[in-house]
Chain A
């Protein structure tokens, strides 16, 4: 049995979400936006850029949000370097969008050993029911490592997830992404890079790509959320990015998604979201529709109606078949269905 926020569709099973009088923390944080002095925040953003001599590193997949950030900061006069941590299973659309970034800013693409990556995908699916664990780890570790190596002192991420999608009380106010933030909210599910060392021949050196640099190496490097300095709007980001050459799909990348311009770059995302649905009873559609409800683009009733497809099995993701996804990580369909059974939350899914 799932209880949902009375304003959007977020369920009470969503990790880190807090409810007050039936309303979730994401809706409360959204309602609080007009109280924030955005003009002063935009002044703070310019100060940040100035402090970094205008040099900023933008972790970027070439997707709607990071393309927007790169374009926006460039407009503000910054010297932007986009750094891409290659996704676990890059799609043709994803490839196009990374190349598209290079038409606007300097780019660095870091691709770790993909044989190790495939092992991590399979192991993480078994261990924590999350095929995307290594990707989530690398989108934090890679930019920080590159910053330490290239002498950048400012990294600009997108929205503060706790402000946009809900988090524990107070976490929505964070402007800066600290080391502690990464450990707590980075999506590691309590699993750490060191836990993989020794499994299937994976070495400490292999896992270094998935760890933040030491506190000493990070000294002087700041990482901030652009969403703390200007109002975040996924749809605006998409429009700006499309205008600058980002490619989208004509339909959502998998059946349990709603938007056509999110999660286009990793063919494993459909599977990732399906496991979220197994564990917590919600997936991407709930998150996307909830954003649209808050922005007044759809009524809660109409959105709720659309949710019936959310549990759809991801036979295809951004044009790549599940067979290809499994082949790449050396996993059989039988193995996958065992994982599905293992992670199905019996208190949410009856059969």
Chain B
């Protein structure tokens, strides 16, 4: 069995690290570079950086920021937020991103995912599914179009640390590609439950920012439960 992944999810705006709740009200909680450096020092498997200002402000991703964040870490980085063109993807990959997260543009123009995976390969493209507005049918469609991975984003639980919606995650995990379960993670136990219903990774935001939990602590706990992680 493939080792499971624990992925810190960083929401950024400019060079600042922000945290929202239920996808609204972004609160500045620190400097983005700080957070990426902490995660790099923890040798996490992967880091997910989502520029939440990009789509809202009608701009593309901030390449300089991504370059700065990605060059300061030696871990794989996936980047999302405001991505609408193949040129933007190319520029991001050259700036140090390893994978690209497509969200809004998949809703607007699903075939963009096909164009992107044809050009850069499925392994480079993650499609974000905003639960509950989107569901399993959308996830399946994204996979048909070539998405190599699904980021399950529970917008109602985002930033709340009230627990992952295990039933919803289970339903999304029907897709034949890896699923990153994200939104509401409240404990190591929560991660275990998500892995047990088929998630291949858990995305963690607030828990690592506001609680004593660390990726290493998670890895130790999961190991004691018979779940291998890459940390």
Contact = CB atoms under 8 A, between A and B. Distances in A.
Interface residues on B, range: 20 to 34
Contacts of A180: 210-211
Interface string A203-223: 000000001100000000000
A345 interface: yes
B216 A13 contact: no
B173 to A, nearest CB: 29
B9 interface: no
Contacts of B31: 129, 279-280, 343, 345
B131 to A, nearest CB: 25
A272 to B, nearest CB: 14
A44 to B, nearest CB: 27
A279 B211 CA distance: 23
Interface string B27-42: 1111101110110011
A187 to B, nearest CB: 10
Contacts of A149: none
A346 interface: yes
A184 B38 CA distance: 16
A160 to B, nearest CB: 17
A190 B217 contact: no
B137 interface: no
B60 interface: no
The residue in B42, B72, B210 that gathers the most chain A C-beta atoms within 10 A of its C-beta is B210
Given A184-B210, A194-B217, A15 B38 contact: no
A195 B210 contact: no
Contacts of A129: 31, 33-34
B28 A189 contact: no
Nearest to B208: A190
Given A129-B34, A194-B217, A195-B214, 13 more contacts: A15-B30, A16-B27, A16-B29, A127-B34, A127-B41, A128-B38, A129-B31, A189-B38, A195-B38, A345-B31, A346-B68, A347-B15, A348-B15
11 contacts: A17-B28, A128-B34, A129-B31, A183-B212, A190-B30, A190-B208, A194-B217, A279-B31, A280-B31, A345-B15, A345-B31
